[in-house]
Amino acid sequence: MIRLIGAELLKIRSTRMWLGMLALSLGFSLMSLAVYVAFAGMEVNGQQGIGPVTDPDTVRALYASSSAGVLFMMILGIMGITGEYRHQTITGTFLLTPRRGRLLVAKLISYFLFGAAFGLATVLVTAVVAVIALAIRGGSANPLDHDVPLILGGAVLAMALYSLVGLGLGALIRNQIAAIIVAVGWVQLVEGIITVALPEVGQWLPAGAVRAVTLTSSAFGGSGTLDTLPAWGGALLLLAYGLAFAAIAMVTTVRRDIT
C-alpha cells in the first residue's frame, strides 16, 4: 500500500498541473484577502459594509480567505481520475494492480495527503500576507488571536477533503471537461444562489461546511450573517462529504468496464 501511495504521489508531482492549480489557489485567496483589506471599515451607501480591521470578525474573515481556493484542489482531484480515462492510462494501471479497490484507496489517501500539503502552502502564504496587512492597517497582527489557528486548520482540512470530492465527481462523470464545468458551476454559482435564497439549506452544503470550520458567518463584502453550523459540525459535515464522494469513486471505478 505504501508503494501504491508513493506511486500516486509521484503521478501528481510528475506534471506541472499541480503548480498551476496551486498558483491559482494562492492568487484567488490573496485576491479575496486584498478585497477585505481594501474595503475594511468603509461604508457603502451610508451603511457599514466590511467591519474595520480592529473587528474580530473582520480579522477572522481575512485569515479565512486562505480557503477561497478550495475549487482548485477539487479540480486537481477531478483531473487525477479523469486524466487516467482520458489518456487511457487507467487500463495499464489496473493491469499492474488488478485489485481496483486497493488502488483506489491508495489514490484517495495520496490525494488527501497532497490536498493537506496544498492547503498548508496556501494557508502559510495567506497568513503571512494577512499579518503584514493587519500590521499596516492597525489591526491585531498576532496570528494566535481570535481563533486564527482554528481557522487556518479548518482551511487545510477543507483543501484535503475537497480533493476527495473532486476524485468522486471525476469518477462519477469520467469526462474531464464536463466534470470541471460541473464543479466550477456548483462552487461559483449554484451554492451561492442556494445560500442566499435558502440560508437554512446553504449551511449544509460544502461551502457552508467551509464557513463553519473557518468560523466565518458573513456574506462576502456584506454585514449580514448567514446560518452556520458550529465548527465541529462543519468539520464532520466536510468529512462526510469527503467520505461520500470517496465511496462514489470506489463504487463507480471498481464496478465499471474501463474499455
Helix/strand/coil for 47: strand
Say if residue 7's pLDDT is above 80: no
Percent of the chain clearing pLDDT 70 (strictly above): 85
Say if residue 167's pLDDT is above 90: no
Enter the pTM of the model. Answer: 0.84
**pLDDT the model gives residue 182:** 93
Q: pLDDT digit string (tens) for 77-95?
A: 999 888 877 766 766 666 6
The arithmetic mean of pLDDT across residues 149-176, rounded, is 89
Domain boundaries along the sequence of the chain: 2-255
List the grid coordinates of 1: 500500500
Contacts of 147-153 spanning 24+ positions with Cβ under 8 A: 147/60, 147/215, 148/59, 148/60, 148/63, 150/213, 150/215, 150/231, 151/60, 151/63, 151/64, 151/66, 151/213, 151/214, 151/215, 151/216, 152/63, 152/66, 152/123, 152/127, 153/213
**Which segment of 89-93, 169-173, 233-237 scores lowest on mean pLDDT?**
89-93
Give the model's confidence band at 221: pLDDT under 50 very low, under 70 low, under 90 confident, else very high.
very low
Give yes or no for a contact between 32 and 68, defined as CB atoms under 8 angstroms apart.
yes
**pLDDT the model gives residue 220:** 46
Burial 237-248 (b: 16+ CB within 10 A, else e): bbeebbeebbeb
Q: How many CB atoms lie within 10 A of CB 134?
A: 23
Say if residue 216's pLDDT is above 50: yes
List the grid coordinates of 196: 442566499
Tell me the pLDDT of the chain averaged across its residues.
83
Q: pLDDT digit string (tens) for 30-39?
A: 998 998 888 8
